[in-house]
Amino acid sequence: MVRVPVPPTTVPPAPQGRTARRLSWAHLPPSVRAEVERRLGSEVVSAQSQDAGFTPGLASILTCADGSSVFLKAASLVAQRAFAESYHEEAQKLSFLPDGVPAPRLLWTFTRADWVVLGLEHVVGRMPQRPWDDDELDQCLELLTQVADSLTPAPPGPWSTFAEETAAWPACWEHVAAHHRHLVGPYAEEAAALARAAADASAGDTVVHCDVRDDNLLLADDGRVLLCDWNWPVVGARWVDALLLLVIARGDGVDTERIVASHRLFSDADADAVDAVLALATGYFLRSSDHPAPTSSPFVRDHQLWCGEVAWDWLATRRGWR
């Protein structure tokens, strides 16, 4: 197993599987619980909350009296509008994914009493371990290769582009230059210019997930590897998902340069294009880390700071900014 020095960071990685403060099954209104049980065809006898991730919506494995199970997601349009709308988006986007994309199937969705509810296939498995294991990372990169192959060219759907979704991110460097000068030193202007180039650098004809982390990956007991939580898919370069995942892997000491140089996902990735997307992500993570931490997601700002510092270290190493 080849390892490289872990980049210096101000905060440790977020605790895996313990980052969210979620609603539970009991928080749903009786009419919503009744509709879920009607669709399941059996009474719910247990609900196991899944506390990975950084959102407060319900995310629970429900087990029914007849032994069946489902993965349930729900959020209130009144108290959690942004998250409820993201669940609605997820349901819509999942419906446009072609058969064969390795993702849990959407079984049904409904809105009742101002709650958006999704019932998804429950697949028994676990997240990849952290720090990243080389074999499990290879499995997940192979998954992302399968996803890219399945979604190139982009199938018909309501997709925006990566450039459109991240159009505001280059401006994050104004804040970073002012408030993270101790980290970025004299290179903020060069990094900002790179970030502005990311719109062209990230162009492509692949639907990319845009939020690949260990807590959105599932190593199933049946041997499959699945990509979950399709809230933000966009069209862009086929290597974008792998690059963003590798930021986290690099923070765990993985030799990510070896992967970028050898993996077929990056076979057509220009080095400057990779740097441009790294600069874009660095600015976004560092700027976002300075927003107040929501009580429903106490680890999200530390996670963003950690990712931003790791991404900066990688970018600075690649550009010779030492």
Confidence class of residue 132 from pLDDT cuts 50, 70 and 90?
A: very high
CB 87 within 8 A of CB 106: no
pLDDT tens per residue, range 73-106: 999 999 999 999 999 999 999 999 999 999 999 9
The answer to whether 66 and 41 are in contact (CB under 8 A) is yes
**What CA–CA distance (Å, rounded) separates 15 from 151?**
32
Which residues contact residue 68 at a Cβ distance below 8 angstroms, ignoring those fewer than 6 apart?
40, 41, 42
Q: What does the pLDDT read at residue 125?
A: 98
Q: Is the Cα torsion angle 56, 59, 60, 62 positive or negative in sign?
A: positive
1 pLDDT more than 70: no
Q: Round to whole Å and give the CA distance between 127 and 61.
A: 15
Task: Check: CB of residue 44 under 8 Å from CB of residue 33.
Answer: yes
pLDDT at 301: 97
What is the share, in percent, of the chain residues with pLDDT greater than 90?
A: 94
* Mean pLDDT computed over 158-168: 98
What pLDDT was estimated at residue 296?
A: 85
Q: Is the alpha carbon torsion for 176, 177, 178, 183 positive or negative?
A: positive
Residues with Cβ within 8 Å of 74's Cβ and at least 6 positions away in sequence, in order, are 23, 28, 32, 57, 58, 87, 115, 116, 117, 118
For 25-120, CATH gives: 3.30.200.20
How confident is the model over 252-309, as pLDDT tens digits?
999 999 999 999 999 999 999 999 999 999 999 999 999 999 888 999 999 999 999 9
**pTM of the predicted structure, to 2 decimals:** 0.95
Give the chain's mean pLDDT. Answer: 96
Q: Determine the pLDDT at residue 322.
A: 77
Domain boundaries, the chain: 25-120, 127-319
pLDDT digits (tens, 9 = 90+) for 208-240: 999 999 999 999 999 999 999 999 999 999 999
pLDDT, mean of residues 144-148: 98
**Statement: 127-319 belongs to CATH 3.60.21.10:** no
